[in-house]
């Protein structure tokens, strides 16, 4: 099961209603963070997410609202006696900026921190991959794709019955070996399973103007988390951000299954922003609040809020 947990959904500065950007992706017991806005540790406490389960942090760019929570998070890990390494990924200058953090104050982590500077890179991690791609934000900035690898098909009960297989250790042996001899017959794994299941794809743009690479890397994604800071281009002015309408157009062109409008400017109330989105968007979309969780189940997304659990 895969969960996308929105720990901070606003942009630029925190408000009483929402914090600055942090997204936690929970997959098979691991927590992956995308951006670490100020106050992330507090948001994780509220969401009951342990920083000790975070092994990878992906930073989109080094504007303060996207990374200033990193120091507090690392110090908390240290206070709690962390021993396993932490991997931090980001665009050009990531090594320099992380070192500046680690050299500030009377503090040194007691565990290894590995810093990785990325361009357009494909990283493999067991059952999933993470791709980075360049976006347009006026400073070195990346978007990220979480791509679950395709999974083998499920066992088909009618096929198991046909071959006289009732489950238990014999199926484990069949999975491991690929084929077995059973009742005088050779049975292959592909004889008793359905078609391969497509892995889930989640794309996070970070901050960006509309750009073609977002569309390319989001093609047919299950979820696109696209920054949509402003309601209109007049509100945007000269900043390197997207509007709600531009994010919706990108999602439509890329044929994504669901769009999450993210990084809402602090000047807008939730109701004002969501109402405008309903006018402008003709694709399936959500406007997440802090602590909303999108869970991918049976080929579709379900949303709940952790404060209501």
Would you please indicate which residues are annotated as catalytic (active-site) residues?
65
Residue with tokens 């807008």: 268
Do 140 and 96 meet the contact criterion of CB atoms below 8 Å apart?
A: no
Q: Which of 290, 292, 214, 208 has the alpha carbon at shortest distance from 40?
A: 290
CB 277 within 8 A of CB 287: yes
Q: Is 112 annotated as a binding residue?
A: no
For tokens 């998070």, what's the residue? 73
Check whether 116 is labelled as a binding-site residue.
no
**CA atoms of 155 and 191, how far apart (whole Å):** 9
Our CA dihedral for 132, 134, 137, 143, rounded to 10 degrees, sits at: -20
User: Is 61 labelled a binding residue?
Assistant: yes
**What burial class does residue 290 get, using C-beta atoms within 10 Å of its C-beta: 0-12 exposed, 13-18 middle, 19+ buried?**
buried
Rounded Cα gap, residues 44 and 53, in angstroms: 11
The reply to whether 226 sits in an annotated binding site is no
| Closest to 229 measured CA to CA, from 5, 13, 2, 79 | 13
The answer to whether 207 is annotated as binding is yes
Residue corresponding to tokens 């679950």: 148
Question: How many other C-beta atoms are found inside a 10 Å radius of the C-beta of residue 79?
Answer: 9
CA atoms within 13 A on the CB side of 154: 4
- Residues at the annotated binding site? 61, 63, 65-66, 137, 207, 263
Annotated binding site for Zn(2+), which residues? 61, 63, 65-66, 137, 207, 263
């Amino acid at each position: 099961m895969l969960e996308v947990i929105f720990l901070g959904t606003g942009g630029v500065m925190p408000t009483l209603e929402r914090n600055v950007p942090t997204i936690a992706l929970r997959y098979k017991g691991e927590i992956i963070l995308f951006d670490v806005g100020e106050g992330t540790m507090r948001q994780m406490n509220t969401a009951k997410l342990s920083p000790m389960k975070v092994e990878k942090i992906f930073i989109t760019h080094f504007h303060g609202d996207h990374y200033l929570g990193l120091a507090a998070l690392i110090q908390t890990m240290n206070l709690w006696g962390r021993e396993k390494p932490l991997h931090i990924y980001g665009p050009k200058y990531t090594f320099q900026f992380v070192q500046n953090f680690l050299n500030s104050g009377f503090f040194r982590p007691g565990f290894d921190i590995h810093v990785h500077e990325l361009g357009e890179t494909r990283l493999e991690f067991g059952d999933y991959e993470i791709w980075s791609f360049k976006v347009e934000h006026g400073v070195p900035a990346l978007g990220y794709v979480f791509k679950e690898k395709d999974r083998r098909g499920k066992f088909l009960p009618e096929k198991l019955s046909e071959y006289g297989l009732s489950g238990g250790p014999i199926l484990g042996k069949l999975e491991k070996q690929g084929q077995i001899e059973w009742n005088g017959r050779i049975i292959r794994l592909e004889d008793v399973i359905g078609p391969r299941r497509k892995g889930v794809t989640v794309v996070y743009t970070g901050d960006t103007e509309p750009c073609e690479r977002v569309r390319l890397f989001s093609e047919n994604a299950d979820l696109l988390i696209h920054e949509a800071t402003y309601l209109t281009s007049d509100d945007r002015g000269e900043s390197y951000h997207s509007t709600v309408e531009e994010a919706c157009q990108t999602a439509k062109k890329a044929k994504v299954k669901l769009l999450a409008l993210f990084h809402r400017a602090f000047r807008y109330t939730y109701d004002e922003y969501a109402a405008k989105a309903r006018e402008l968007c003709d694709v399936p979309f959500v406007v997440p609040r802090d602590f909303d969780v999108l869970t991918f189940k049976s080929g579709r997304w379900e949303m709940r809020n952790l404060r209501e659990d």
